[in-house]
Amino acid sequence: MDVRIDILTLFPEMFDVFDYSIIGRAREKKILDVNTVDIREYTEDKHRKVDDYPYGGGAGMVMAAQPIVDCIRDIKKLNNGKVIFLGPRGKTFNQDMAKELSKEKELIFLCGHYEGIDERARKYIDMEISLGDFVVTGGESACIPIIDAICRMIPGVLKSDESYMEESFYNGLIEYPQYTRPECFEGYDVPEVLLSGHHENIRKWRRIQSLIITRKNRPDLFRKAELTEEDKKLLKKYRNR
């Protein structure tokens, strides 16, 4: 097995999504080993409780330290990867982070729930990641897209490196427009350059379209993009039309 990922969660069934599509095929090929671990199996409470009321009062419940810590310790016997917690204190996830994590051979993801986790469990966490500045029901909802983004860049998961290298955000820009048959749909034609068979002209067309779309829709990304001399010439040529 090339890469092992363990997901520590209260709701293992939520990760059935990884039985399908690209990730599912990669698991069948033994490129990925994605496992879910039920934190409830580690609680010492006879009623299988994993949460309790917060000291000091307040709304909601907090996940207790004991089942989390015991679960991490047990999984560490099989997986020595970083323990990544999905929570609001972490850096916001992006494509660069996905690239770096895709180089790891072992990873452990901890999904929080309720009002968070007991602070004393944090010393067993190596890294915290946030999906963004909004609230979701639990760490599972954030964990799924993060693992998906990471796994797509693991060698062998996609059919070719180009499949992810040309996707939106991989190189800091949004992907160019795509077309398929028929050539004309409801009066709208496929751009002639894509029918020309001229690979260099197609490459340039795709690049300028990617630049234009990013500048229009995500100016924040465009400002951070490292433009080549060719990019600058293409943009100048486009402005002069």
Q: What residue numbers does the annotated binding site for S-adenosyl-L-methionine cover?
A: 112, 131-136
Residues 149 and 53: their CA atoms lie apart, in Å, by 35
Please state, in angstroms and rounded to a whole number, the distance separating the CA atoms of residues 177 and 212.
11
| Residue 127 CB-density burial (10 A; 0-12 exposed, 13-18 middle, 19+ buried) | middle
Rounded Cα distance, 150 and 170, in Å? 12
Whether residue 172 contacts residue 224, with contact meaning beta carbons closer than 8 Å, is answered with yes
Map residue 167 onto helix, strand or coil.
coil
Q: Which residues are annotated as a binding site?
A: 112, 131-136
In DSSP terms, which residues pair with 128 in a beta bridge?
A: 85
- The distance from CA 149 to its chain's CA centroid, rounded to whole angstroms, is 3
Query: Cβ of 167: how many Cβ atoms within 10 Å?
Result: 15
- Matching residue, tokens 């916001």: 92
